[in-house]
């Protein structure tokens, strides 16, 4: 449920839909740079879009199996919950 004080932009743009994620997204995360991250659990990957882009900017797949959630630190480390099948959290860098 959203806070009752949420304000939506009437000119907002939708660029991620079921065609992109095929109903497999379990987590969406937006960092301080407005980079959008999505775990694509059914396809064993994490997708990210840089600010103001409509195409996927990066795909992280190496060794992921059904990633469940993620968190991005202020210095660009991406912590991916790959634990439901692999029993671990993987750390990636935005700069690698």
- Compute the distance between CA of residue 81 and CA of residue 9 in angstroms, rounded to an integer: 32
Q: What is the pLDDT of residue 2?
A: 61
In this prediction, the residues of the chain whose per-residue pLDDT falls under 70 are 1-2, 15, 17-18, 20-23, 96
Sequence-separated (6 or more) residues with CB below 8 Å from residue 50: 33, 35, 57
Residue 86's closest CA among 63, 60, 61, 69?
Answer: 63
């Amino acid at each position: 449920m959203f806070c009752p004080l949420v304000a939506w932009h009437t000119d907002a743009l939708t660029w991620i839909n079921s065609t992109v994620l095929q109903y497999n997204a379990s987590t969406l995360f937006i960092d301080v740079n407005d980079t959008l991250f999505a775990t694509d659990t059914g396809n064993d990957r994490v997708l990210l879009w840089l600010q103001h882009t409509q195409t996927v900017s990066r795909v992280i797949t190496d060794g992921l199996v059904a990633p469940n959630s993620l968190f991005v630190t202020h210095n660009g480390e991406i912590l991916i919950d790959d634990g439901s099948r692999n029993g671990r959290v993987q750390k990636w860098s935005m700069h690698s």
